[in-house]
């Protein structure tokens, strides 16, 4: 598998550590990002490309890690995009979190050029991208998945095929609903504790081992208690994911009222200037309303 040439497009908060882990594993990378600096990745041995098209022309497997659906469409199907340079038999693995319908649209365009496509969004944020322990949920053909799985395993500790193209992003939408609502529940609970005069740190210690405990609680409550909202996953990106969830739910006829409620909380935080905060800053909404901060004493 190390003989496969890999292209990596999108070297932001998530993409850069993911690319770094592939380099550490011994893969040869051609990289490009139209906005972010990637000199440090070049310094680790990656080769710079001048366009998405050039990345594709030099690669057997092309990975994209971009903010949203329009960015993926532009990078793959736009001028000087991946589709213009891709080789027959190559595979595009989109690890962005986008609308499932867009994944299917991109797959169709690439299939016409003799190339394969997988949607493979991730969960875990920047810390797990750095550690190479992301959860990767994949949609696409089983044979293609089997071919690229060894590459994905260098970036994630869990790599699961969940169905055909689009299924990966449906799974990610489900993940993002659960994460957002979990953070909101934690925020409500710890703001209540603080307002009632109980030390939130002690509440955390008391309940984290019980049924209320969760990976979300363990990751986000320490940030809340420290007032540390440095982004691992920004509020503005969670808004994007939940909008995709709402759109998909409306298209499929599924009511998701709790998602609509947390979306309004996130939009309020964005309007208050917190769009670039970590999504643990959902607690700020409750703190403002209750006139208290849920912090360590």
User: Mapping DSSP to helix (H, G, I), strand (E, B) and coil, where does residue 145 land?
Assistant: helix
Residue 297 placed within a domain: no
pLDDT for 2 beyond 80: no
Distance from C-alpha of 89 to C-alpha of 36, rounded to nearest angstrom: 29
Q: Are residues 158 and 175 in the same domain?
A: no
Write out the two tokens for 205.
């210690």
- In terms of domains, do 156 and 241 share one? no
The reported pLDDT for the residue numbered 1 is: 65
Q: What is the CATH number of the domain that holds 179?
A: 1.10.1040.10
Domain match, 188 and 71 both:
no
How far is 51 from 240, CA to CA, in rounded Å? 26
**Contact present, 118 and 62 (Cβ < 8 Å):** no
Do 12 and 159 fall within a single domain?
yes
Write the DSSP assignment of 226-281 as a string of letters.
Answer: HT----SSBHHHHHHHHHHHHHHHHHHT---HHHHHHHHHHHHHHHTT-TTSBGGG
Give the integer Cα–Cα distance in Å for 121 and 98.
8
Cα–chain center distance at 110: 23
**For residue 126, how far is the Cα from the chain centroid?**
9
Give the end of a domain, one of 110, 144, 164: 164
**Are 153 and 269 part of one and the same domain?**
no
Residue 106: in which H helix or E strand, if any?
Answer: helix 100-111
Rounded mean pLDDT, 117-138? 95
In sequence order, the β-bridge partners of residue 28 are 5
Return mean pLDDT, the chain. Answer: 96
State whether 82 and 144 are in the same domain: yes
CA dist 225 and 295 (Å) reads 4
pLDDT band, very low/low/confident/very high, at 3 (cuts 50, 70, 90): confident
Is residue 295 one of the residues assigned to a domain? no
Known catalytic residue at 172: yes
Q: What percentage of the chain carries pLDDT values higher than 70?
A: 100
User: Global pTM?
Assistant: 0.91
| 116 and 187 fall within a common domain | no
Q: Taking 80 as the threshold, does the pLDDT of residue 121 lie above it? A: yes
Q: Indicate the residue among 130, 164, 198 that finishes a domain.
A: 164
Residue 180 pLDDT greater than 80, yes or no: yes
Residues 10 and 149 in one domain: yes
Regarding beta strands 122-123 and 116-119, do their DSSP bridges make them parallel or antiparallel, or are they unpaired? unpaired
Domain with 24, as residue range(s), is 5-164
**Span 220-253, pLDDT tens digits:** 999 999 999 998 889 999 999 999 999 999 999 9
Same-domain pairing of 141 and 10: yes
The residue among 178, 265, 280, 294 whose CA lies nearest residue 223 is 280
Domain count for the chain, please give it.
2
User: How large a percentage of the chain has pLDDT more than 90?
Assistant: 94
Catalytic residue among 16, 53, 128, 172: 172
Tokens of 21: 């882990």
Whether 84 maps to a domain, the answer reads yes
C-alpha span between 238 and 257 (Å, rounded): 16
Please state the rounded mean pLDDT for residues 244-267: 97
Whether residues 43 and 159 share a domain: the answer is yes
In a domain, 193, yes or no: yes
């Amino acid at each position: 598998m190390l003989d496969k040439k890999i292209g990596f497009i999108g070297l932001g908060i998530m993409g850069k550590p993911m690319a770094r882990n592939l380099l550490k594993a011994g893969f040869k990378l051609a990289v490009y990002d139209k906005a972010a600096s990637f000199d440090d990745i070049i310094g680790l041995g990656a080769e710079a490309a001048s366009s998405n098209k050039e990345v594709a022309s030099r690669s057997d497997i092309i990975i994209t890690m971009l903010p949203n659906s329009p960015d993926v469409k532009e990078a793959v199907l736009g001028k000087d995009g991946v589709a213009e340079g891709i080789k027959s038999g190559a595979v595009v693995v989109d690890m962005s979190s986008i609308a499932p319908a867009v994944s299917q649209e991109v797959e169709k365009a690439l299939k016409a050029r003799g190339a394969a496509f997988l949607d493979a969004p991730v969960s875990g944020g920047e810390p797990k991208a750095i550690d190479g322990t992301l959860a990767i949920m994949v949609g696409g053909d089983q044979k293609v998945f089997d071919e690229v799985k060894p590459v994905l395993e260098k970036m994630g500790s869990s790599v699961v095929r969940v169905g055909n193209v689009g299924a990966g992003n449906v799974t990610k939408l489900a993940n993002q609903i659960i994460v957002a609502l979990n953070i909101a529940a934690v925020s409500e609970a710890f703001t209540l504790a603080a307002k009632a005069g109980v030390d939130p740190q002690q509440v955390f210690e008391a309940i984290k081992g019980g049924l209320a405990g969760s990976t979300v609680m363990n990751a986000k409550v320490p940030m809340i208690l420290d007032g540390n909202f440095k982004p691992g996953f920004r509020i503005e990106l969670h808004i994007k994911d939940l909008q995709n969830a709402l759109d998909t739910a409306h298209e499929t006829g599924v009511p998701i009222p709790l998602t609509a409620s947390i979306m309004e909380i996130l939009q309020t935080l964005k309007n208050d200037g917190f769009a670039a905060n970590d999504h643990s800053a959902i607690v700020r909404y409750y703190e403002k309303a209750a006139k208290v901060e849920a912090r360590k004493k």
